[in-house]
Amino acid sequence: MIFDFAHVAQIAPSCSNNQPWRFIFVYKEEQLRKLFTTLTPHNNWIEKASMMIAVFSNPKFDCAIKERQYYLFDTGFAVAFIMLRATELGLVAHPIAGFNEEQAKQILGIPEEMRLITFIIIGKHSSKINPVLSENMKLGEKQRPPRKELSKIIHINEYGNNLESQ
């Protein structure tokens, strides 16, 4: 499975083909337990996960065009590809931001100059809803949360000309 994920991440597009993404696949129980201590309290559902993928990069690894820094954008592509592949394999892949970056970097030995951007939590589907989930999260398990109207996010030909005015 690790090679599956690694290969789809490898083919993601990146600015000047810089490939700024780096990953640590963590599945050793002892190491997972250490990482669980870095999670924010509402992320305690993760304690049932069988693998956490640490996703990190360095702003210097990728294009910066004035203030447009592409390392996060390009690494996001690689993450999305891994999520799609996990879904294809029948697994659940969930990215998170709720963790203590400094603590997690120390546990994993990630050098100071790197940004630990996310963990992708990998697990199996379960027919039982985890009781530690908040009411909102339980709802989200049954039905994906609402999306903004298309007219709020799409503009046609110029800013402010949205779908409603077509």
Ligand X SMILES: Cc1cc2nc3c(=O)[nH]c(=O)nc-3n(C[C@H](O)[C@H](O)[C@H](O)COP(=O)(O)O)c2cc1C
Name the site residues for ligand X (rule: CB under 6 A).
43, 95-98, 118, 140, 144-145
Nearest distance in Å: CB 164, ligand X = 24
Nearest distance in Å: CB 119, ligand X = 9
Nearer to ligand X, 114 or 117 (CB): 117
CA 44 to CA 69: how far, in whole Å? 32
Pairing of strands 51-57, 68-69: unpaired
Nearer to ligand X, 14 or 118 (CB): 118
E strand or H helix at 25, and its extent? strand 22-26
Residue whose CB is nearest to ligand X in the complex, by number: 98
Nearer to ligand X, 19 or 43 (CB): 43
CA 37 to CA 32: how far, in whole Å? 9
CA 107 to CA 26: how far, in whole Å? 11
Nearest distance in Å: CB 139, ligand X = 10
User: Which tokens hold the place of 50?
Assistant: 């069988």
